[in-house]
Structures are given as structure tokens and as C-alpha cells.
Amino acid sequence: MATVVDSSNPKSDFPIQYRELNYLNCSKGWKSWFFTLDHKRIGIMYLIGVTCAFFLGGLFAVLLRTELLSPARILLSADGYNQMFTLHGAIMTFLVIIPGVPAAIGNIILPVMLGAKDVAFPRMNLGSFYLWMFGAAFFLAALALGGLDTGWTFYTPYSITTSTAVITALLGVFILGFSSIFTGLNFIVTIHTMRPPGMTWFKMPLFLWALYATALIQILATPVLGITGLLLVVERAFHIGIFDPALGGDPVLFQHFFWFYSHPAVYVMILPAMGVVSEVIAVHSRKHIFGYRFIAYSSIAIAIFGFLVWGHHMFVSGQSKVVAVVFSAITFSVSIPSAIKVFNWLTTMYKGSIRFTTAMCYALAFLFIFSIGGLTGLFLATLATDIHLHDTYFVVAHFHYVMMGSSLVGLFAAVHHWWPKITGKMFSEFWGRIACLGVFLGFNLTFFPQFLLGTRGMPRRYYTYLPEFQNLHILSTCGAYLLGLSSALMAATLIYSVYRGKKAPANPWGGASLEWQCSSPPPANNFDHPPLAGDPYIMESVVYNEEIGGYVPVECQGAKKGSVTASGDKEA
């Protein structure tokens, strides 16, 4: 008890890592969580929410795949199938992947990594979480009010004429959009105005660059989604004739509006995951990241180029030919910055001392899967090929490779990489790696057959199919089961560690960025002194210390424990 009292006294020279108070235990009671303004607690609440949504969406996915075991009816009616895939898609995109890395992990890590005490607008941050909850409630309400069968894309004119709960779902999307805008706005302002002295733009870890680029997209694209949803609500409720051809409206205009947001939104999903991978690969290869500036600039380039390609979703919608050609060309060029990143990651690993920790395994899985996902995007960006492949399982496989296989696997990597920091506990590497292997195999087993199905002409969003497709569908369904089990195993491993895990040292992996310099879990205020930022990728600046079981700054190695302090004191 005495130590606790002592350590909470800031005047004591007890090193910060050994203080018992952290953001998790500094205050108690449900109020201290639900009204918290601490970015780390808000991030945790996001993480929990996203996980619940993920398992709900996953349940829908398993039901969908089960139905597709045979062309005949198994579980779901045709209508039920339509509703299932719509809600699966909507939940996974709007509730899981978009807030996944930025709002959950980014919220926890961004200010710590930056060396700030909090995000710029803590109240807005909390508001954004409540908006997320609110939006999720609208989705559940849509489910209860008769479901939704338009597909997550809400294409008109079907979404105007269907009898399902389109308005409720759209209001949910609208609200979730604002949640996302608030997060993005907060991140941009934080990165601009809350950097401590010495933290220049090019000393920022690449995860922050990625979050910054993401936030740019969130701010610039999401309002358009908001107004699109609102116009569609008004169209359905009052018949204003903007998208409804029966009143002289233009349904293709809806697709323009929708994809103007939703293509950039796919970069909202992938960019933060790319940032995570940049961190994870550098830290677990114990090597300075290769081509720092290229990776940083390519994030911004992706953010900007991402806005110029939305028309590639509309190649067969009646879009004009000139516009289609322009969009096709720009789509090709947008894959260049992605490729730059991939090459830089590979080169970072070259001659590094790679440790196959769980986080690294997920990062490697990301590399493999993202390469396939990105390259198949190029097939789809080719005008003539897309005529054949549009609206087939090929597209389904493409976007699952990039959304599930890359964004979500990136989220998994992030969770494992920062888990010791977030919870202060080490998880079982063994079970973590098993789960990772399961996710990787299950994923590829699920979605690789879908490429084959797509090229052979299996259309998407059908609950039945020709008998010759059955073998591949069965393979795919088996993969889905494996995937579901592995993610459950992953969750179990992590949750178990919270209760039974070893206590984590401040720097278990040997990262050099600022978040590893405060204790695990960090104190409520992150840093008492603004930390001194150096190059975040000089892995030689930390060395392993047997006694602590983690890494310590070189200067402190060999000295007595007392000198291992927070970065603010490092130089002293």
C-alpha cells in the first residue's frame, strides 16, 4: 500500500514505469468510463464496440456462407439472404472497418505516440463515440423494423421502392458519418497543434502520417455521404425527384454521390492499416524503416488520388465513355503509391532481424493478402475486363482481400502490437500465432475460390447458383468457418490475457517511438513532461534488459533501475 501512496506523489523520484497509477485504475465506477474525456478510455470503449459489431457481422457472414453450401434453400429465404448480406456489409463497413483502426486504436495510440496529453477536443472525442453508439442503435433498429435489402450501397431506384427500413438505416449511416468526421477533425487538429517541442513532421511515426491522411479523407468525403443519405431519406419520405426516375430524377447521380464518398472511404479503411504495418514491420524487424519519406508522402498521395477515381465503380452504370476512360487511367495510377509502400516494407525486412511475433505474423499476412487484393483491383480497373467481372464474385473477392484481409488483419496486427501498452498485460504468443495462422488460412480458403467463381460468371448477391459452382462454394464456406473459429480464438487469447496475462514491461517489443517510453498502461496524463522526440525508427536506441523483461533506452542499460525513466527525463 505504501508504494501506491508514494508513487502517486509526483514529487517522488520513483520512476514513472513503476508508478502504480495508470489510466485504467486512476478512477473507478461506470461514470468514470461513460463520461471520461481520456482518449485512451474512449478508445477502449470504441474497441469493445467494434469487436461486438465485428462478431455480429461475422455471425451474419457465417449464415450467408452456410446458405451457399448448396444451391437449394438451407437456412434463409431469398429475401432473408438479401437482408443478411446487406446488414453484413453495412455493419462491417460502417461499424467495424471504418472506425476500427482510426477511432479505436488511433484514439488510444495517437496522442501517446505524438507526446501529447490528449487529443485536441476531448469532449468531441467522447461525442464521436456516442454518435457511433447511436448510429449502431439505428442499424439495430433497422434490423428490427424489417431489415434492409438494398445492399450496403443503397443504389437507387431500388432503395426508393423497397419496403424495408431504408430510412432508419440511412439515418444510422448519417450519424456514423458524423462520428467519423469528428474523429478525423480531432486527429488533424491534434497533429497540427499538439505536437510537443522537437516533434517535427518528419519525426512523426508513419502511423501518425497514415492517420493524418485518413483524417483528411474523413473530413473531405464524409460530409458528401451525409448529404447523400439525407437526400435519399428525403427522396423516400417526400419524393423530391432527385434520384427517382419516375419523377424525372437521375439514379446514376446517386451512384456519383455515393462513390464520391465510398471510394475514398475504402482508403479510410486501408490507410490506417498501412500505417500499422509500417510500425509493426519496422519494430519487429528491428530495423529502421526503409524510405520513410516515401511512405509518408504516399499516404498523402493516396488520400488525394483516392478522390479522383470513384467512377471505377460505375463503368457499366451508363457513365459516359470519356469519364470512364479518365477514371480508369487515374485508378491505375492510384495503385502506384500503394505499391511504393509494399516495396518499402519488403526492403525494411531485408536483412532485418525478424521475430515472428503475433503482430509480425499478422503484418506478413497483410503483405501477402494486400498484394493480391491490390493487384486484382487493377483487373477491375481495366475497362474491358470489368465489363465481364463487374458484379461477380471476383469483385467480392477483391474487396474482401483488401477490406477483410488487409484492413481487418491490419487491425489485428495493431491490437496485438499495442495490446501490452493498452492493457498492461502480455498475451500468449503461442495461441496468438495459432490464431493468426488460422485467420490467414481461413481467409484465403474463403476468398480465393471466389476469384475463380467470379471469373466463371457467378454473380454476386445471389442466394442460389448453378450446380457447377458448388464445389468452390463449399470450399469457401469451410474457409469461413475456419476464419470464424480463428478470430474467436484470437479474441479468447486476448481476453484471457487481461485476467491471467503476465504484466507487460513498458517496452516489450523494442519500439523507439514515444508510446513505448511511458509505462504500460500509460498514466492518465500520458506524460508529465513533454517527451523529447527523436527519430522513431532508430531501434538501436533501446536494448533488451533481462531484469525488466523488456527494452530500455541504451543510456539506462547497466545503470540502476531508478534511472530508467520517462523520456522527459531521459537526457537528464
Partner 1 sequence: MNTAATTTTDDHADSHDHEHHDPRLAHHFDSHQQQFDTGKLGIWLFLVTEVLFFSGLFGFYAVYRSLHPEVFLYASQFLDTVLGAANTVVLLFSSLTMAWGVRCAQLGQTRGLMVCLVVTLACAAIFLGVKSFEYTEKAHHGLLWAGMYHSPEHHDAAAADGAAGAGDHAHDEAAAAGDHGDDELFEKTKHTLSYMTTVLWVVIVISGIALGLLFKNPNKKTLATVAGCVLVSAAGMVIGAYSSIGYHHFGHAEKPTDEEILMAETVPAEYAAQKEKVPEPKLAGTFFSVYFCMTGLHAIHIIGGMIAISWLIVRTAHGAFTTYYFGAVDFVGLYWHLVDLIWIYLFPLLYLIN
Partner 2 sequence: MSDHVESDAHAENPQSCHVHVVPVKVLVGVFLALVALTVVTVEAAKFDTGSLDVIVSMAIATAKATLVVFIFMHLWYDKPLNRLAFFFSIVFAAFFLCMILLDSHAYDDYVKGFQQDQAAIAAPAAAPAAAPDATPAADAPATDAPATDAKAAPEKKTEPEAKPAEK
Residues that bind partner 1 (CB under 8 A): 8-11, 21, 23, 26-27, 31-33, 35-38, 41, 116-118, 120-122, 124, 181, 185-186, 188-189, 192-194, 219-224, 226-228, 230-231, 234, 238-242, 247-250, 253, 257, 523-525, 528-529
In SS3 terms, 349-386 reads as: HCCCCCCCCHHHHHHHHHHHHHHHHHHHHHHHHCHHHH
110 contact choice in partner 1, Cu ion, ligand HEM, none (CB below 5 to 8 Å, kind-dependent): none
231 contact choice in ligand HEM, partner 1, partner 2, none (CB below 5 to 8 Å, kind-dependent): partner 1
Residue spans of alpha helices (H) in 456-545: 470-500
* Closer by beta carbon to partner 1, 126 or else 504: 126
Residues with Cβ within 8 Å of residue 460, at least 6 apart in sequence:
391, 392, 393, 395, 396, 454
Q: Using CB under 8 A, pick the residue from 89, 184, 275, 311 that binds partner 2.
A: 311
Q: Using CB under 6 A, pick the residue from 338, 358, 446, 520 that binds ligand HEM.
A: 338
Interacting positions 349-378 with ligand HEM (CB under 6 A): 374, 377-378
263 contacts Cu ion (rule: CB under 5 A):
yes
332 contact choice in Cu ion, partner 1, partner 2, none (CB below 5 to 8 Å, kind-dependent): none
Contact characters 259-278, partner 2, x per CB under 8 A: -x------------------
Residue 30: CB minimum distance to partner 1, A = 11
402 contacts ligand HEM (rule: CB under 6 A):
yes
Q: Which amino acid is it at 313? A: H
Q: Using CB under 6 A, pick the residue from 19, 195, 203, 312 that binds ligand HEM.
A: 312
197 contact choice in Cu ion, partner 2, ligand HEM, none (CB below 5 to 8 Å, kind-dependent): partner 2
Helix (H) or strand (E) holding 425: strand 425-426
* Closer by beta carbon to partner 1, 193 or else 200: 193
Q: Using CB under 6 A, pick the residue from 65, 256, 390, 417 that binds ligand HEM.
A: 390
**Which residue do the cell numbers 525508427 mark?**
537
Residue spans of alpha helices (H) in 28-165: 30-34, 39-67, 78-90, 98-99, 107-114, 122-144, 158-161
Contact assessment for residue 349 and residue 284, using Cβ atoms and an 8 Å cutoff = no
Contact assessment for residue 118 and residue 111, using Cβ atoms and an 8 Å cutoff = yes
Residue 300: CB minimum distance to ligand HEM, A = 16
Q: Which amino acid is it at 469? A: F
Phi and psi, residue 520, nearest 5°: -110, 120
256 contacts partner 2 (rule: CB under 8 A):
yes
Residue 402: CB minimum distance to partner 1, A = 25
Residue 454: CB minimum distance to ligand HEM, A = 10
3-class DSSP state for residue 545? strand
CA distances from 171 to 46, 132, 143, 230, 239 (A): 20, 12, 13, 7, 17
- Cα–Cα distance measured from residue 85 to residue 462, given in angstroms and rounded to the nearest whole number: 10
CA neighbours within 13 Å on the CB side: how many for 13? Answer: 6
User: Which one of the spans 118-126, 199-207, 263-271, 426-434 is the region binding Cu ion (CB under 5 A)?
Assistant: 263-271
- Cα–Cα distance measured from residue 458 to residue 469, given in angstroms and rounded to the nearest whole number: 8
Contact assessment for residue 208 and residue 110, using Cβ atoms and an 8 Å cutoff = yes
CA distances from 43 to 112, 127, 289, 413, 426 (A): 12, 12, 27, 16, 19
- Cα–Cα distance measured from residue 542 to residue 532, given in angstroms and rounded to the nearest whole number: 15
Q: Where on the chain is the footprint of ligand HEM (CB under 6 A)?
A: 153, 266, 269-270, 312-313, 331, 335, 338, 374, 377-378, 380-381, 386, 389-390, 395, 398-399, 402-403, 407
Q: Where on the chain is the footprint of partner 2 (CB under 8 A)?
A: 82, 151, 153, 155-158, 161, 192-193, 195-197, 199-200, 220, 224, 245-246, 248, 250-253, 256-257, 260, 307, 311, 316-323, 387, 390-392, 459, 461, 530
Q: Where on the chain is the footprint of Cu ion (CB under 5 A)?
A: 263
